[in-house]
Amino acid sequence: MTGPPNTPSLEEAMAAAQRGDARAEELLAGEVRSLARIVCTKGQVPEMGGLDWEDVSQEASQRLFRVGLSRYRGDGSARSYLYSIVKVTMLQLMRSATRRRAREQVVSDEEAASFSPAGKGEESSTMERVSVRQILGALAPECQELIEAMFLNGATYRQIAEETGLAESSVRSKLSRCLRRAREQAR
């Protein structure tokens, strides 16, 4: 069996994609897709149940082209880099799913006290010390929720905008105002 003649490696494809080469981007998207499929179908992560590899693939590609590509400096293995992006994406999606379930749970039983913003509330009671909620206690509930969502839950501006119906720019400026207010109160 023989392979085709020498062609660009993944590293070269990354460099070309950084220059805006559409063909290279296509190749990278294909590689991400392959890795997502491999990891999702062959990974041994029990909590992965229900996670669709195509969702992972799509999200990972977006992450790659939105941020990851610009951060790749070409001095390491491109495949390992892409693989890391796929793993991060997968775990992020798993966390999001957990958060969603936690939110639904809270809504259904109204046991807000057991709700952890990160969606993993079981360990909260074992941790003490000052909490962010205490620190932000004097803020308007709206501000508290926004700060928690953005900094503790890892929500994006776009997600908050979609949830609240506000423009993304409004969410940005609102968060800035809330943060400044919180800091002023802390002084």
Partner 1 sequence: MNKQDNPPTRSGDHPIDEIADYLDRRLSLDREREIAQHLNACIECADDFAYAQDLIDVALRSGETHIRVDRLVEITENLQAEFTVPEWDHFQICPSCQAEAANLQRFPDPADLIGGDSIAASSSNQGEVAPGPKRAKPKNRRSTATEPKGHTLTPSEPHWPQDEIDPRSDTDESLGSRILGWLFPKGLIWVGSGAGAVLLLFMILPGANDTAPLAQIAPIAITVPRSVPEAGSFGERLSRGLESYVAGNYEAAEVAFALAREVDSSHVEAALLQGSCQLLQGETDEAVLTLEVASKLADTPEQFAEANWQLANALLLTKNEAGARTLLTEISGQEGTRQAAAKAILAALDE
Report the site for partner 1 in 163-182 (rule: CB under 8 A).
Answer: 169, 172-173, 175-176, 179-180, 182
Is 108 an interacting residue with respect to partner 1 (CB under 8 A)?
no
CB of 82 closer than 8 Å to CB of 28: yes
> Quick one: which of 136, 22, 31, 17 has its CA closest to 80?
31
State the number of binding residues for partner 1 (CB under 8 A): 88
Question: CB of 68 within 8 A of CB of 119?
Answer: no
End-to-end CA distance of the chain: 71
Minimum separation from the CB atom of position 149 to partner 1 (A)? 9
Q: Could you give the CA distance from residue 119 to residue 98 in angstroms, rounded to a whole number?
A: 6
CB 64 within 8 A of CB 6: no
Does 124 engage in binding with partner 1 (CB under 8 A)? yes
From the list 169, 105, 186, 156, the residue with the least C-alpha distance to 146 is 156
Q: Which range in 51-59, 62-70, 103-111, 137-145 contacts partner 1 by CB under 8 A?
A: 62-70
Q: How far is CA 91 from CA 42, 58, 66, 69, 161, in A?
A: 15, 14, 18, 20, 23
Decide if residue 97 touches partner 1 (CB under 8 A). Answer: no
Q: Find tokens 């109160």 and name the residue.
A: 185
53 binds partner 1 (CB under 8 A): no
CB of 76 to partner 1, least distance (A): 3
106/157 with CB nearer partner 1:
157
CB nearer partner 1, residue 1 or residue 165: 1
**Interface of this chain with partner 1, residues 3 to 42, rule: CB under 8 A:** 3-10, 13, 26-28, 30-31, 34-35, 37-39, 41-42
129 binds partner 1 (CB under 8 A): yes
**Which one of 58, 62, 63, 106 is in contact with partner 1 (CB under 8 A)?**
63
